[in-house]
Amino acid sequence: MKEKAKYSLIILIGVFFIFGCGQEPTTSETKEGESKVKSSTRVNIAEIEKGIKDFIAVQTEKNGGVFPVKDENHDLKMKLVRVHTEYLSNLGPKTHFACVDLVDESGDVYDVDFFMDGEPGAMGVTSTSVHKFNGKPYYSWKQNKEDKTWFKLPLEQSNNDLMGVVEGKDEFEFYYSAQLPQLDGPAKLWIPIAESDDFQEIELVSVEIPEGAKRIKEGNYGNTLLYLDLGPENSGEEINLTYAVKRREKGPYAAPEPDKSIYLASTKLMPTGGRFEEIAKEELGDKINDSHLIQARVLYDYIIDNMRYMKFGNYGNGDSNYACDSKTGNCTEFHSFFISLARSVNIPARFAIGASIPSDRNEGGIDGYHCWAEFYADGKWWPVDISEGNKYTALATYYFGRHPANRIELSRGRDLKINPGPEAGPINFLAYPYLEINGKEVKVNSRFSFQRKAKS
């Protein structure tokens, strides 16, 4: 393929506006940064996709397994995540456009626009330019009403605050509260305890719980829990935990190969194989031979495109079969379905749960728990938050490989096996206190709240 790539980090976001009119437009260049829409015959989109993938593959092979993007401020070494087939287009005679997601060595995702010329199957790239960085646009497009040309408009007043997202770091107190119901006999209680890791620094400032609590460890995922034997004398007692939390934004992070006996396994409500394998392979198509990173993005997009965030019916259990049948649910269904699909095609994946801290205020209540997932590819764990990417589609790129700083993780994993454990068997997942009476789970009235530390 003829190499004509000019690596300039000029930023584009106007493709949506150009291509959003229900037809395949084309452009003719007028002067730098301007183009005029003209009519054109449709070309084979699959050929354009093949052209850009072939170009990236050739350059990747020439550069030791990475695709370079350079300018005076950047020297990026990238890998392909996906080609946006919805934006592939013919812009004029022998002129084509492709929008591609590439990821650098740190896990940052760049939405890069490619302009190509030549016949389908024999195209050369004439220019590349970065459209977005982790989902945030740097440039916009505006149309001249008089001559209908489009020109680039710098986003000088661009707001780096994404919807509901605190980037970088966040610091807050997190208040975990619950009240025990009326107890007419013996009962058992398990409470998750948040712990520090590479992305959150946790201090348990105060603990108000019934006497006799014991700290226990869960084996597979390393969770810490408080365990209590209760009786009628504990009826109505309050549970209050106060955490001081320093949290930083989470991106892909290097880690050893995970234990496949855990992270490729079926669980009670997250089965693998069967129809989950069939769905995953059908969606992947010829990408079944691509990297796990590319495959995970296909499955991520499948969940976003096919599920609706809806708290209706038997939701909130993280049941992959329910999610597959209803195509609805809350965060537990979204991520359970993804994990079942990923594990079914040998992509290690895992589940975690905690709470999302509001970004638009500095204190008050929190609307319950929130959960998320991670998958393993290219020697890293990649965070994803598919239900948030579904609710706020403008953030779909951000949430593939990112968790914001404004959250706290309480526990990890599914089918938690602990000793002493419930008579009913492993705990599905653990955010709220788990109360067992006569071998059955009883819901505990629980509430979360927070106070953000004032910025100095």
Task: Return d(Cα 407, Cα 133) in angstroms, integer.
Answer: 22
pLDDT tens digits, residue range 194-243? Answer: 999 999 999 999 999 999 999 999 989 999 999 999 999 999 999 999 99
pLDDT tens digits, residue range 440-455? Answer: 999 999 999 999 988 7
Please give the model's pTM, rounded to 2 decimal places.
0.77
Bond from prior residue into 420 cis (ω within 30 degrees of 0)? yes
Q: What is the pLDDT of residue 268?
A: 97
**Residue that wins the pLDDT comparison between 14 and 87:** 87
Contacts for 149 with CB less than 8 Å, ≥ 6 apart: 30, 34, 35, 36, 143
Task: Return d(Cα 158, Cα 95) in angstroms, integer.
Answer: 31
Binned at pLDDT 50, 70 and 90, residue 368 comes out as: very high
pLDDT tens digits, residue range 62-121? Answer: 888 888 877 556 678 888 887 876 556 666 667 777 778 888 877 778 878 777 787 766
Backbone angles phi, psi at 132, to 5 degrees: -140, 155
Binned at pLDDT 50, 70 and 90, residue 28 comes out as: very low
Task: Return d(Cα 244, Cα 450) in angstroms, integer.
Answer: 10
pLDDT, average across residues 55-65: 87
Task: Return d(Cα 79, Cα 379) in angstroms, integer.
Answer: 13
- Residues 307 and 390: beta-carbon distance below 8 Å: yes
Print burial letters for 367-405: b (CB count within 10 Å at least 16), e (below 16). Answer: ebbbbbbbbbbeebbbbbbbbbbbbbeebbbbbbbbbbb
Q: What is the DSSP letter of 86?
A: G
Q: What is the pLDDT of residue 59?
A: 87
CB atoms within 10 A of CB 78: 23
Q: Which domains does the chain carry? A: 15-154 (no CATH), 169-248+433-452 (2.60.40.2250), 253-412 (3.10.620.30)
Strands 238-248 and 370-377: unpaired
CA distances from 133 to 129, 398, 401, 425 (A): 11, 8, 12, 45
**Residue that wins the pLDDT comparison between 288 and 124:** 288
Residues belonging to the chain:
456
- Which helix (H) or strand (E) element contains residue 329? strand 328-329
Q: What's the gap between Cα 232 and its chain centre? A: 44
Closest CA to 409 of 218, 224, 271: 224
